[in-house]
């Protein structure tokens, strides 16, 4: 089922499947969100829980037991239940069941909250540990945006960080597992000019960056800004080795598995940690101009 919220600036549609954004339009009808062409990438805006990225052999260890979990976890394939809604707000919730506990052995609530504020859409993740044991988990967003949105060509666009910065790039192995880090040079310490072959080695994942980025072009009337004040990593991606007409901007709280060794949740330092009965909240924002 689809849900739509709207205000004087934006109309946003969300699916209960994965609590996934389906559309972000301004009132002139300009569509900013990637529309899921399976030729390139069939998803549109994945919500990532309870693990970000790939594990070695799609498996991990917790409490001394082995579990299977596919890339980016099960939330993206799960049907969320609507909890609350009005014209400008929507709350969708996913909880544990037998199937999910077999993949992630902790009782939980994962809520995705969408709220419109003028020309911005706030996306809030709320995770509650309903288990008797400590819960460790990964979390992140994965929205795709049409490039171009309106005028110009793909190569006319760039990623602009809100301030000058000197990022570190998370390096990946050929199997897209973490393999180290290195300095990453921005144009004028602030920009990444877009070109399709930028993503031929998969995602560009950075840390030590400004927590706000804008997709823009001097030839375009519109721009999209993504703010992620409480997420330490941001990735940029489209399907490698293609001319895909979109770019994903992916704010993450945690990293994929390290290359060449088993994934042990108790040993992965960047995972989020929640004691029994506690909750975690993180809000990031998509705004359009």
> Mind listing the pLDDT tens digit for each residue in 165-179?
999 999 999 888 899
DSSP letter (8 states) at residue 219? T
CB-CB neighbours of 274 under 10 Å? 19
Supply the CATH number for residue 114's domain. Answer: 2.70.98.10
Predicted pLDDT at 149: 84
Distances from the Cα of 273 to the Cα of 10, 37, 44, angstroms: 35, 36, 28
- pTM of the entire structure? 0.96
Over 90: is that where the pLDDT of 152 sits? no
Q: Is the distance from CB of 171 to CB of 180 less than 8 angstroms?
A: yes
Predicted pLDDT at 194: 97
Q: Is the distance from CB of 205 to CB of 235 less than 8 angstroms?
A: yes
Q: How confident is the model at residue 192 (pLDDT cuts 50, 70, 90)?
A: very high
Distances from the Cα of 172 to the Cα of 60, 106, 142, 177, 237, angstroms: 19, 29, 18, 5, 13
H/E stretch holding 117 reads strand 108-117
What's phi and psi for 219, nearest 5 deg?
Answer: -95, 0
Q: Is the distance from CB of 145 to CB of 25 less than 8 angstroms?
A: no
Q: What is the mean pLDDT of residues 123-142?
A: 98
How far apart are alpha carbons 230 and 282 in whole angstroms?
7
Predicted pLDDT at 221: 87
Look at residue 193 and give its three-state secondary structure: strand
Predicted pLDDT at 115: 98
Predicted pLDDT at 208: 97
Q: What is the mean pLDDT of residues 100-122?
A: 98
Q: What is the mean pLDDT of residues 95-113?
A: 97
Q: Is the distance from CB of 74 to CB of 100 less than 8 angstroms?
A: yes
Question: What residues does 258 pair with on adjacent strands?
Answer: 178
What domain count does the chain have?
Answer: 1
Q: What is the mean pLDDT of residues 19-29?
A: 96
Question: What residues does 170 pair with on adjacent strands?
Answer: 181, 205
Q: How confident is the model at residue 286 (pLDDT cuts 50, 70, 90)?
A: very high
In the structure encoding, which two tokens stand for residue 84, read together? Answer: 């609350």
What dihedral angle (degrees, nearest 10) is formed by the CA atoms of 224, 181, 139, 215?
A: 0
Q: Quote the domain boundaries for residue 155.
A: 2-288
pLDDT per position as a tens digit, 27-63: 899 999 999 999 999 999 999 999 999 999 999 999 9
């Amino acid at each position: 089922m689809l849900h739509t919220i709207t205000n004087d600036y934006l109309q946003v549609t969300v699916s209960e499947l994965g609590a996934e954004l389906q559309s972000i339009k301004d009132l002139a009808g300009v569509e900013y969100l990637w529309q899921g062409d399976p030729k390139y990438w069939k998803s549109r805006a994945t919500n990532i829980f309870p693990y970000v990225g790939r594990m070695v052999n799609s498996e991990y260890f917790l409490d001394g037991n082995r579990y299977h979990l596919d890339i980016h976890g099960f939330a993206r394939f799960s049907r969320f239940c609507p909890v609350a809604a009005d014209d400008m707000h929507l709350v969708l919730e996913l909880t544990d069941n037998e199937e999910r506990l077999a993949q992630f052995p902790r009782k939980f609530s994962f809520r995705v909250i969408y709220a419109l504020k003028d020309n911005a859409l706030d996306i809030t993740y709320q995770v509650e540990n309903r288990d008797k044991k400590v819960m460790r988990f990964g979390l992140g967003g994965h929205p795709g945006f049409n490039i171009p949105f309106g005028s110009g060509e793909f190569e006319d666009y760039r990623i602009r960080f809100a301030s000058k910065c000197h990022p570190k790039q998370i390096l990946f192995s050929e199997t897209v597992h973490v393999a180290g880090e290195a300095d990453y040079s921005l144009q004028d310490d602030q920009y990444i000019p877009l070109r399709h072959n930028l993503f031929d080695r998969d995602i560009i994942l950075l840390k030590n960056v400004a927590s706000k980025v804008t997709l823009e072009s001097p030839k375009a009337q519109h721009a999209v800004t993504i703010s992620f004040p409480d997420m330490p990593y941001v990735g940029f991606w489209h399907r490698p080795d293609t001319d895909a007409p979109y770019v994903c901007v992916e704010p993450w709280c945690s990293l994929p598995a390290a290359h060449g060794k088993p994934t042990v949740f108790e040993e992965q330092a960047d995972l989020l940690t929640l004691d029994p009965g506690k909750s975690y909240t993180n809000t990031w924002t998509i705004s359009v101009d």
